[in-house]
Structure formats: C-alpha cells, structure tokens
Amino acid sequence: MELPSACSHPGWSVLALGLGLLLWARRRRGWDPRRCPTDLTGKTVIVTGANSGIGKCVALDLARRNARTILACRSRERGQAAVEEIRAATGNPAVLLRLLDTSSLASVRAFAQAVLREEKRLDVLVNNAGLTGLPLTITPEGLEQTFATNYLGPFLLTNLLLDLLKASAPARIVNVSSFRHGVGTADVRYLTGQAQPGGYDPIYNSTKLMNVLFTAELAQRLEGTGVTANSVNPGVVSTRIMRHFSWAMRTLFLLLRPFIKSAEQGAVSTIYCAVSEEVSGITGKYFGSDCGLALPSAAARDAGLARKLWEESERLTGLPAGPQH
C-alpha cells in the first residue's frame, strides 16, 4: 500500500486521536504548581534573573505562596517593573528588588552582604540568572563573562549565603541547568578564557554542565545541615535568553515558539524543586523538565571533575578552601 493511501485510511485518524488524547492525559497528570498546597508564610526566598522569563514566573509563584520574595536583577528598571507586577498579581507587599549582576564578583559580594545584613533567614535560593550568545569577553576581574554569569557568580553567591541557609534549615537551593549540559565540557581554563569550548552553544552547554557538577559537590558538602541542593532542566523554553543572538537566529526561534514551552510552563520544574513536598530531603539530584528524577551525563556524574571545578572556583572567587568530604 502506498504511503498517501495508507495515511488516508480511517484508522490513522483514530490512531492520531488516541495518541493526542494520551499525550494530553500525560500532561494533565504532570505536577501542577496550582495544586501544590505549600505555604511560605514567614519564609524568605531569593530568585536571580527574576525580571523576566522563568525567573519571573518562579518569583510570582513563590510570592503567591506568601513568601518574602527577593528579585535579584541586573536592571533596576526591569526589576522594579517585575516587582510591581508581582505585587499587583499576588497582593503580597513583601516582594523586593535587590540589584545583582552575577558576571561581577564585586556585585555578588555586595548583594550577599546586603542580604546578610538585612535578612533574618533564607529558605529558598533559586540560581536562575543566565545568558548566551555573547562573544568571548573577559571581565575587569579577569573572568570570561558567560562563565561568570552562568556559573561562577552563582557559585560565589551560594557560598556566601550558606550560613544563612543553614541557620534557616530546612532550606533549599535550586540551580537551573539545561539538558544541553549533556554535550558540554568542564575545563577549568574556560573560566578565565584561557581556553574556549567553541562558539556560543558549546560555551552555554559547558556552563550548564558546571551547574550540575557544582550542585552535586555542594550537596555532598551540605550533608547533615538540613540544606538541600538540586539542579533542574526547564526544557526548551521561549524566553529572552536568545536576545544576544543574530536577527536570523532570533527569527528562527520565534518561528519555533508555538512548539516550545512558555516561560510559565518552563518554570514548573524549578518551582517543583523549590516547594514540593515530594522533593523534601532529596539532594544532589538532577530533575528533568517533567519534574522527574533524571540521570545527568557521565561527565556530570564525575566526582573527581566536580571536586576539581570546585577547588578552582574557590581560588578564582577568593573563597577559603572548604573542608573535604
């Protein structure tokens, strides 16, 4: 039977309808933040990169749960607009803006000092800020900009806030990674631009691998403290992260937009790791975009590589060497 005549058979319509219903049912069975009863009254949360995209949706959800919600943003204008929008949508007046540029270690330190000075507790830290599409750029502090923004800044921020997180335990750290970590590499020379993994995609992929390695090592070091750390893949999501690419790439991404997740949908796995009862006590894991536990790449499971990356990150950020586990 020829393919056109086969596809015109009535059975194909029934099969397609059945498949569609199955996919719809599977999505319906997925974890839904709106059905999660977790209330965060009296809790404090920080979401980086929260003026748009996934970060903004995560902050909106946490604010709806009555958390004191700190939006850590690079742009005062866009950050304040997000704060006002979230306050209006949730009725939660405790939504605040604090300026943070994760590509700058000085900015990270200033932000952390302000948090430690002004906040009595920290229950959830979501490291979401990230970018891609920039050419190789060395910052005034001698770091490669994309690696500093996506990995090294969050590494320093997390470490500076660890004591506050421990004092607030049980507390959670959620590091937003990507399925693209699976094709990344983690050469510590990338952090200072002494070596390059390639173009835009390999750079981004490698930062996301470093996020997963950092999370695994962090979880080991936090054992017994009541603070958990997990990394998460949001999936393929329509956000502003493509803004630094050429118009041709942005146009292609725009054409694909109907077939990929919205920011609200992409935020679900991060919210799941931040608030769900199902994740309570789970640490050092990698969660897929469907909120299920997933096996990260072989490189992401390399404990020796994670330790080497951690030690070099300590050196570059000026942190004292932590105890070995």
The catalytic site residues sit at 204
Which amino acid, residue 83? Answer: V
Residue found under tokens 């994670």: 306
- Collapsing DSSP to helix, strand or coil, 264 comes out as helix
Can you tell me the distance from the alpha carbon of 287 to that of 295, in angstroms, rounded to the nearest whole number?
8
* Sign of the alpha-carbon torsion through 78, 51, 59, 115: negative
Tell me the helices (H) and strands (E) count for the chain, helix number first.
Answer: 13, 8
The DSSP call for residue 301 is G
Can you tell me the distance from the alpha carbon of 124 to that of 130, in angstroms, rounded to the nearest whole number?
18
CB 70 within 8 A of CB 115: yes
